[in-house]
Amino acid sequence: MQKRILVIEDEPNISEAIRFILTRNGWQVEVEADGLAALSRLRADPPDALILDLMLPDMDGFEVLRNLRADAPTRDLPVLMLTAKGQSADRDLAARLGVTRFMTKPFANAEVVSALQDMVGP
């Protein structure tokens, strides 16, 4: 069965690139550009994994992650956080909040695919 992933990314070029990469590798990809809309979608129908941008317009990725980990249906959802900011303080906070993986932009296509396969299987 095809694995489903939600990408929360406000940059259309990046979300489309991720969609293309993952679709080509057999994933069903959905995209949201803001955290609030994504949270309601996640609560209603959690995917197999989530790619979460750190810097979003309405609520940052940390706040999205806090909300996910506080709700039973999404508490254990595998989350790959992407960010252009790779400071260790961001990595540390993401780890404390329960991120599964952390990756900085720019990223290699193979790295994203490999990380998701490690997180949820092929």
**Alpha-carbon span 18 to 1, nearest angstrom:** 20
Give the residue carrying structure tokens 């992407």: 82
Domains of the chain: 4-120 (3.40.50.2300)
pLDDT of amino acid 86: 67
With CA atoms as reference, report the closest residue to 4 among 49, 52, 39: 49
Q: pLDDT 10s digit of each residue in the chain, 122 long? A: 789 999 999 999 999 999 999 999 999 999 999 999 899 899 889 999 999 999 998 899 999 999 999 999 999 999 999 988 768 899 999 999 999 999 988 889 999 999 999 999 76
Q: Provide the 3-class DSSP secondary structure of residue 70.
A: helix
pLDDT of amino acid 80: 97
